[in-house]
Structure 1
Amino acid sequence: MAGMDTHPTALLDTVEQETGAAPAWSVLWLHGLGADGHDFAPIVPELVRPDWPALRFVFPHAPVRAVTINNGVRMRAWYDIVGMDFATRADSDGIEESIVQVQSLIDRELARGMAPERLLLAGFSQGGAIALSAALRRSQPLAGVIALSTYLPGMELAAQKLADQATRQPVFMAHGSGDPVIPMVHAQRSAQALQAMGFAVQWHAYPMGHQVCAEEIAALADWMSGLFAL
């Protein structure tokens, strides 16, 4: 892989990998609770196919904050988790802050010459929750959204924040049927809510826990190949 480095941004530090010179697409990938930008960097060689255009993967580090559900221990998190009830557990102020920070990273890619229709927003678990939440607000649609082992926080109010043109962004969602962290029913309900808003959602379920698997990576690569061919 060419060009792996760590870059400071105005708001967040990132880990970057480029699969070739002059990347034609960018993938902004958000990690899960307690991880960092290095967590999904190893997925690049497993995911990327030889016939793809050159890609720039950007893996930001979430801010360090106290997480209530983990006894207030400070760790990298996109928002606080305040309880067990999925309807109210996500800290809405933290989500809003993270959406702004993600927007700044998207703006940096646009400033580098990347068109929004060549930018994918991806996330795992908490990162996926931010990716979905941010996608709803985008009046300038991205190429697509990847949401792994996650759900859409505040589903009841999400449609009220839906921006014009946002539903032009296709969504890839995948989840483990045995996920003990985010039970699959919450992901399924989120997928249904997104579909009801008008998003084209490709849904996959796998016999696994809160993780990714080879079959999931292959399905994601198929989906991405379809976008690159458009």
Structure 2
Amino acid sequence: MSYLTSVVFNSTKPHTATVIFNHGLGDSGDGISPAFLNLSKILGHVKFIFPNAPNRPITVNNGMIMPAWYDIRSLGDDIETQGEDEEGMLNSVRGINGIIRDEVDSGIPSNRIVVGGFSQGSAMSLLVGLTSEYRFAGIVVLSGYLPLRQKIYRMATESNKRTPIFMAHGVLDTILPYNFGKLSSESLISTGYQVTFKTYNTLSHSINGEELQDLAQFLKNVIPDV
């Protein structure tokens, strides 16, 4: 059982699929979930789970304590030279994996589960998705990037080599620049992953209606109502 708490939108029809969606830095399940209210109505067979990251000090924010999946020691091109918080990331992977196990134990097969996230949460969705022994229906990366890119492919399993990955990024993003998402998608594609990368010319570091429409179509394709 996972040690993480979550906000849950239960399915309104017989529950045959689950989306686990991880929020960004400083946010919460309560903060991100309202953006998905309409999506949960459209996809009545899907249970939506929004886990809450634990509180921790964040180096780039002068050690301020806030909800985060891992510490951020630097921004921009310095991320790799300063070193990523691999220990924090892997601890969060264990928490999210606990939620996935709970869903599988309750009768939802892993190939009817989508793991996704926004910003820092989407880096977690890639880390969980690529390293899991479970085969998922899809992986969703909104305004995110590929974490631990010097070693993630050595950590990866074969389970999700053919799993559809939906990546989306706004051109006006100044928090996680568009190039982070674009280069991450190109790295995944060159390694053989099945990536759809969507560009939004008027989107900053947020989620908008056009992106949610595209996400809805992706979810209908990978976890259709049965």
Match for residue 208 of structure 1?
A: 203
Match for residue 177 of structure 1?
A: 171
Match for residue 55 of structure 1?
A: 46
Structure 1: runs of 5 or more not aligned: 1-8
Secondary structure of the residue that 1:156 maps to in structure 2? coil
Match for residue 90 of structure 2?
A: 96
What's the offset of the Cα at 1:19?
3.1
- The question of 1:15 aligning with 2:10 is answered no
Q: Deviations over 1:55-98 (max 9, x none)?
A: 11111110000001000000000000011213245311101111
Q: Deviations over 1:102-136 (max 9, x none)?
A: 11110011111110011010100010000001111
Q: Does the 8 Å contact 2:13/2:44 carry over to 1? A: no
Match for residue 26 of structure 1?
A: 18
How many Å separate the matches in 1 of 2:50 and 2:146?
21
Name whichever of 170-179 and 84-93 sits farther off. 84-93
Matched letter for residue 158 of structure 1: I
Match for residue 193 of structure 2?
A: 199
How many Å separate the matches in 1 of 2:168 and 2:66?
25
- The question of 1:86 aligning with 2:79 is answered yes
How many Å separate the matches in 1 of 2:13 and 2:59?
43
Q: Does the 8 Å contact 2:25/2:68 carry over to 1? A: yes
Matched letter for residue 103 of structure 2: E
1:36 to 23, 28, 37: 28
Percent identity over paired residues = 31
Structure 2: runs of 5 or more not aligned: none
**Structure 2 counterparts to residues 109-124 of structure 1, below 5 A:** 109-124=103-118
How many Å separate the matches in 1 of 2:39 and 2:108?
21
TM-score, normalised relative to structure 2? 0.92
Q: Does the 8 Å contact 1:139/1:163 carry over to 2? A: yes
2:60 to 59, 62, 69: 69
What's the offset of the Cα at 1:140?
2.1
Matched letter for residue 48 of structure 2: F
What's the offset of the Cα at 1:21?
4.0
- The question of 1:222 aligning with 2:217 is answered yes
Secondary structure of the residue that 1:140 maps to in structure 2? coil
Q: Deviations over 1:125-177 (max 9, x none)?
A: 01000000111102321110001000011212221111122212110000110
How many Å separate the matches in 1 of 2:37 and 2:89?
30
Q: 1:105 to 1:149 in 2, by over 3 A?
A: same
How many Å separate the matches in 2 of 1:22 and 1:49?
13
How many Å separate the matches in 2 of 1:103 and 1:123?
14
RMSD: 1.6
How many Å separate the matches in 2 of 1:194 and 1:53?
31
Structure 1 runs (4+) greater than 6 angstroms displaced: none
Match for residue 167 of structure 1?
A: 161
